[in-house]
Structure 1
């Protein structure tokens, strides 16, 4: 009995020791598996919530049954992508800036506004690398109106002049922009600035035009608030904007294109067989495609076969850019028969 009881107690003691060891191993394993303070802190500080929200929103917009129209989905997607857009992506390049000299006369300024259709005109000193600011068409019209005002007097009240009309002959069109004091400030920004940041600066400063300056102090381009907004809502055209046709079909497989034409626009006119996928990462326009394919700005008369099945001839160019070109589709089978 005594021996049996001692044996049972011994067995219980062994099992208890075994259970205690197992519990200890389990606790150690839990401690190993549970993250420590440092790991927990790092995980907490990671900006995973905004990232996941953005990704979930993008996925939701791509799905069906969102309740948004196609235009609403496009606009929301553009807003989400705006944080990746930089000033250089939306600016008007230097070669396309329409500007006027500080020494230009009022008559020349009026003509320039009429020709361009813009409401703001950049003003330069010695050249485009010496941009001084801008003139707003509203300020010009205000000056002309004030200069043309005529005043008369009510009967018996010579001390109370009243407006009696406008006489444009009173406006001296020979005065220069410098003389008239019409110059307004613009913002000066680097091309690497985020477009959303520039939009915030424009709203805060009430200045809707920015000049893009490169690292050497030269003028790289120009950007307006409208240019940034168009990244979200699409092209904004008012009653003064004439739709410019950049690509035309001349028939018989011949097409003429302005070098500024987007590759998508060229493909819409020429056809889906105008396959530009190999160039899409390097160029946005047909002119950029040609420059990228050749590695240089070509001269007029240069012919390049950058798109299979097509020949592109440069019709007009200057040392800085391609201006106009002709696209010719090879007859069926001709591309395969060309010598290597």
Structure 2
């Protein structure tokens, strides 16, 4: 899943946010709307579903999409961490702002003054395009384009935040810690994906097969590729410890090695000499990896010996 703001998010990178309803329109009286129908569909959660059958020690948090997740999960369960947030300063120039949107592929970005702990609002790509794109001129002022952003504590239930997003017509919220600093970010797409699963759009790459070989000794693989098949394909045994025997997928092996979800672009070295480069990931899962055998890794060019003057 890509965060709607991050793409991302599993990075990773990353997916774009659903097109929002025009802020100038108001729903007709008595019309519940899509999110109203979601919220009205709540049923009391079944205590028996809190743990997996036959595993009384399993985590209480649900692993599958469903309406009950909006009641069971809190904001900090789905928010991307602060270090993953892409935001822009209030004094950024128009060309630099366009470059950030182009490179990151997001539909909106938080704007801060000084540091991220002093947020000023949101800049929407469509506002920038309508005011300064399509040949439009005029003096650029980011401050005039800002829209409000929501703030939420980490402990807020997801259904409460979803209701607030619907009421205020703002689809992004910053997570604020007890000291008033920014701790993370969550979008309306993150909330909806807890109900219906990952949302793929035209910007997301199609997964296709489990792997493809880029060149001899180098593969791009899905994190869900079965580890047995990966080992057979590359000809290297990757299970080297007792804990590895419980791992079924390539992504699970990498997660076990470093104890966290790696960031996009991060390179993890395996004790066999194989390298795993994270091609795509979001804050909650690895999506794709580049697997490189030891004798096919790029080598740095030799440096010329120093000469005496």
Q: TM-score, normalised by structure 1?
A: 0.49
Q: Alpha-carbon deviations, 1:154-213, whole Å to 9, x = none?
A: xxxxxxxxxxxxxx2x514x62413xx011111111223222221111112111100122
Matched, 1:144 2:132: yes
Distance 2:254 2:141 in 1: 37
With CA pairs under 8 Å and 6+ residues apart, which has the higher RCO, 1 or 2?
A: 2
Deviation at 1:249, TM superposition (A): 6.0
Compute the displacement of 1:326 (Å). Answer: 7.1
Q: CA deviation at 1:141?
A: 2.4
Please tell me whether residue 175 in structure 1 is matched to residue 140 in structure 2: yes
- Go from structure 1 to structure 2 and tell me whether the alpha carbon gap of 1:312 and 1:239 turns closer, same or farther (over 3 Å shift): same
SS of the residue corresponding to residue 121 of structure 1 reads: strand
Match of 1:290 in 2: 257
Identify which of 120, 124, 144 aligns with 1:132. Answer: 120
Secondary structure of 2:147's aligned partner: coil
Pairwise CA distance, 1:135: 0.7
Determine if contact 2:276/2:292 at 8 Å carries over to the other structure: no
In structure 1, the residue matched to 2:177 is 214
Structure 1 residues 210 and 288, CA gap change in structure 2 (3 angstroms): farther
Aligned equivalent of 1:25? none
CA contact (8 A) 1:199 1:228 kept: yes
Q: Using a 3 Å threshold, how does the CA distance of structure 1 residues 303 and 113 change in structure 2: closer, same or farther?
A: closer
Equivalent position of 2:100 in the other structure: 112
Q: Which runs of 5+ in 2 are unaligned?
A: 1-42, 54-62, 230-237, 294-309
**C-alpha separation between the residues in 2 aligned to 1:197 and 1:229?**
13
Partner of 1:103: 91
Other structure's SS at 1:129 match? strand
- Equivalent residue number for residue 79 of structure 2: 91
Which residue in 2 is equivalent to 1:227?
190
Q: Where do 5+ consecutive residues of structure 1 fail to align?
A: 1-49, 63-73, 149-167, 258-264, 330-340
Structure in which a larger fraction of residues adopt helix? 1
> Residue 224 of structure 1: CA displacement?
0.5
**Displacement of 1:120:** 1.0
Match of 2:165 in 1: 202
- Cα 1:285/1:208, change in 2 over 3 Å: farther
Instruction: State the superposition RMSD in angstroms.
Output: 4.6
Summarize deviations over 1:209-258 as a string: whole Å, max 9, x none.
Answer: 0012233333322111011111111222222333479x85659997667x
Q: Quote the offset at 1:99 in angstroms.
A: 1.7
In structure 1, what is the Cα distance between the partners aligned to 2:267 and 2:125?
A: 41
Structure number, greater radius of gyration: 1
Is the Cα–Cα contact under 8 Å of residues 122 and 133 in structure 1 kept in the other structure? yes
Query: Structure 1 residues 220, 240: closer, same or farther in 2, change over 3 A?
Result: same
Instruction: Report SS of the residue matched to 2:178.
Output: coil
Q: Secondary structure of 1:239's match? A: coil
CA distance 1:217–1:193, shift in 2 (3 Å): same
Greater CA drift, 130-139 or 224-233: 130-139
Counterpart CA distance in 2 for 1:116 and 1:315 is 19
- C-alpha change, 1:108 and 1:252, in structure 2 (3 Å) is closer
Q: CA deviation at 1:290?
A: 3.1
Runs of 4+ in 1 over 4 A off after TM superposition: 247-257, 272-280, 284-288, 300-305, 310-316, 323-329
TM-score computed with the length of structure 2 as normaliser: 0.53
